[in-house]
Every structure is written in C-alpha cells, then in structure tokens.
C-alpha cells in the first residue's frame, strides 16, 4: 500500500509538471504572437505649416488601407508633414517620399500601403523613413501646387518645403532616396518609368537601371543631375551626396487609375530590396 501511494503521488507530480510545461509553451506562443503584431513604426510630425485633413480628399482616403496605423498617420498629418520610421538605426538608411505633388494620388496610397506592410515585418536590415504626404493640406485639397508653386522645382531653394526634406535626410544620415510620383498620360515622362542621373553619382543611374529590371518598367537616366529637372527632389538629393531615383506611374492627375497603386507599391518594394533593406 505504501509503494502504491508513492506511485500515485509520483504519477500526479508528473502530470502537474507536464501541465506546467504545456502552460509555459502556450504562454510563450501567445507572447510571440503578440510581439509580431506590435507596431514597429515610429511616427513623427514636422510642423512646417503643412497640416491638412486627408479624409477630405475622398478619392485618396477611400483607397487607403483602414488600419490603426493609417489612422495614426492621418492624425499626425493634421499637424504637419508625417514621417514614419522603421528599423533600429543600424545598417543602410533610406528615405521614401510621396506627395510632392498633392494630386498625384496613387503613389501616396502606395506609401501608406507600404507603411502597413513594413509594420508587420521583422527583417528590416537598416532604417527606413517614409513620408507619405509631403504637404497634407495639398493632398487634402487634391492640389498640385503648394502656395502656388511646384515643390519639385524648389528642393535647391533654401526655406522651401522640399529643401527642408533634403536637410532632414542629411541630418538623419540617409544614404539613398526614392521620390515616388504619378505622371499623366501625354505628360512628361507620361509612362511608367524609373529615372536617375549619371553625374555626380553613378549609383543613381545604376539604381534606376536595376529597379527598372526588377519591376518591369522602363528607365531613363539624365547625364548630369539638376540639368533637365533643376530643383527636383531626386536630383538635389543626388547632388547632396545621396544617390536617388524618381519613380513614376501613369495615371491622370487627381485620379487613381486601375492597377497604379500596385505598380507604385512594387516600385517601392523593389527600391528597398535593391538597397538591401528588406
């Protein structure tokens, strides 16, 4: 009887240990699942007098992914230019910009889609800054111009909004840049295309060629940055020692043609892959 009692107690102890082990495994699994959903995004707002309510542009807003992160970016946009950061500061640093022209909508939707995608990733191999709306008030009103001027000809003008983005990139030690646009049919360039420059940094041209092959779009490289498009964000970044590209998808301004959000999004993904950030 004494041996039987010992056997029963030992058997109960084994069951308790097994139960505790199963509970531990369960808790670890829950913790892992929770950590995978924790936001990796850090949102800041540059209070440059650019704030606007993105929800007022229904064509733009209706295409945005409706997530908690999107809501936070829209909220930040009311106070100024939102910048979303991913990564721990190690490795290469890049910046992705959309909305230099407020009525170029597909690339802005793609940038928000990208932000939501990056928020789920754990394999970012550097630091990524994303500006989905350069001037939210411009995007909210579906306007091409900011204070009557094209921001993509002012990046070399001290005090302009795109000049401030250049200075921000320099301060953050950005090593590569991508400026994402939409081009209207019949406009310049008027087609899906990746553009860079050969001088002063051949890495800009090489990036354009490589991304064009990856995404299946044409490329066009200028000889000297700032010649064909003086004051353009991409050209000025390259002239400042940050090799960059301009990526365009074809759609009428103020509208979102079918498939163009996906095309712009793929340009962004391949830009990041080429630069070994994802």
Q: 175-206, pLDDT tens digit by residue?
A: 999 999 999 999 999 999 999 999 999 999 99
**What are the tens digits of pLDDT across the range 114-129?**
999 999 998 899 999 9
* CA gyration radius, the chain: 24
Q: What does the pLDDT read at residue 247?
A: 98
Q: Give me the sheet containing 244-250, strands edge to edge.
A: 42-46, 81-87, 127-131, 93-98, 176-183, 244-250, 193-199, 218-224
Query: How confident is the model at residue 35, as a pLDDT?
Result: 37
* pLDDT at residue number 219: 98
pLDDT of residue 122: 84
1 pLDDT higher than 70: no
Residue 38 pLDDT exceeds 90: no
pLDDT at residue 88 in the model: 78
* Four-point Cα dihedral 12, 17, 20, 21, nearest 10: -140
- pLDDT over 90 at 32, yes or no: no
pLDDT at 24: 54
Q: What is the pLDDT of residue 3?
A: 45
Residues 6+ apart with CB under 8 A from 210: 274
Q: Which of the residue ranges 6-15, 24-33, 136-145, 204-213 would you say has the lowest mean pLDDT?
A: 24-33
Angle, helix 202-215 to helix 260-274, in steps of 10 degrees: 130
**Mean pLDDT computed over 126-151:** 97
Global pTM reads 0.86
Q: Which residue has the higher pLDDT, 2 or 198?
A: 198
Beta-bridged to residue 82, according to DSSP, are: 45
Contact 200, 222 (CB under 8 A): no
**Mean pLDDT of the chain, nearest integer:** 90
């Amino acid at each position: 009887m004494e041996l039987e009692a010992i056997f029963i107690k030992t058997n109960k102890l084994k069951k308790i240990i097994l139960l505790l082990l199963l509970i531990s495994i369960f808790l670890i699994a829950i913790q892992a699942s929770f950590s995978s959903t924790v936001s990796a995004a850090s949102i800041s707002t540059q209070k440059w007098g650019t704030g606007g309510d993105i929800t007022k542009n229904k064509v733009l807003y209706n295409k945005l992914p409706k997530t908690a992160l999107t809501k936070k970016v829209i909220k930040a946009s009311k106070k100024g230019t939102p910048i979303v950061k991913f990564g721990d500061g190690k490795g290469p640093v890049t910046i992705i910009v959309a909305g230099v022209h407020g009525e170029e909508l597909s690339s802005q939707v793609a940038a928000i889609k990208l932000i939501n995608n990056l928020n789920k990733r754990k394999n970012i191999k550097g630091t990524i800054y994303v500006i989905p709306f350069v001037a939210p008030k411009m995007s909210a009103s579906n306007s091409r111009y900011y204070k009557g001027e094209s921001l993509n000809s002012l990046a070399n003008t001290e005090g302009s909004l795109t000049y401030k983005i250049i200075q921000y990139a320099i301060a953050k030690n950005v090593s590569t840049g991508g400026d994402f646009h939409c081009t209207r049919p019949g406009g310049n360039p008027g087609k899906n295309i990746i553009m860079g420059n050969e001088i002063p940094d051949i890495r800009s041209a090489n990036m354009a060629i490589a991304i064009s092959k990856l995404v299946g779009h044409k490329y066009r490289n200028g000889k000297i940055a700032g010649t064909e498009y003086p004051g353009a964000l991409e050209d000025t970044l390259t002239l400042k020692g940050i090799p960059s590209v301009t990526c365009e998808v074809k759609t009428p301004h103020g509208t979102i043609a079918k498939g163009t959000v996906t095309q712009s999004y793929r340009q962004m993904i391949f830009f990041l892959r080429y630069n070994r950030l994802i």
